[in-house]
Amino acid sequence: MDESRSSGQLPLTGSPSRHAAHLDDTDRQIVGALRLDGRLSVRALAEQVHISRANAYARLERLQRDGVITGFTATVDPDRMGLATSAFVSVSIEQDSWRRVAQALSDLPGVERIALVGAEFDILVQVRAHDNHELRDVVLEQIQAVPGVRATRTWLIFDEWTTG
């Protein structure tokens, strides 16, 4: 689980106060390898990017300290988890309510991603549910009940691909 979620705080992934870390080609190779397999041992990682284990440890520690690598997670198949229904939900909100609404949305069951967007709506939320009845409950009973939410619109996801 993302540390920001477990602490009750929203992640600041797009915060303008953050500066991009300086990454060289080896750092990018490390990040790429770990994105494909977050369970790589440091030894296997070092072999894959052709550096020593000590160098791999040092770089990995720096990438974590600099906030480039924010955690390690398991990627799961939602269908195998019984979450066969998913949707994108656009949310229009009252002015100046972004953080409050986003925090409330992050606490709802099935909410997987929340993004502030520049569009005719304000927030795009990805929701996963066991079935259409549960999805309906999340959207109509829970998301629409969040103070500051003015309107929603839902798009069912029929199929999806992840890119590496």
18 falls within a domain: no
37 with 58, same domain?
Answer: yes
Residues 69 and 100 in one domain: no
Asked if residue 97 and residue 62 are part of one domain, the reply reads: no
One-letter identity of residue 61 = E
pLDDT tens digits for range 8-24: 445 545 554 467 889 99
Whether 20 is in a domain gets the answer: no
Cα dist from 148 to 5, 42, 95, 100, 101, whole Å: 21, 46, 8, 8, 6
pLDDT one-digit tens code per residue, 147-161:
999 999 999 999 988
Last residue of a domain, one of 13, 45, 75: 75
58 lies in which domain range? 25-75
Reported pTM: 0.70
Same domain, 148 and 105: yes
Q: 91-100, pLDDT tens digit by residue?
A: 999 999 999 9
The number of distinct structural domains making up the chain is 2
Angle made by CA atoms 59, 64, 9, in degrees to the nearest 5 = 175
> Which among 105, 80, 78, 88 has a CA at the least distance from the CA of 156?
88
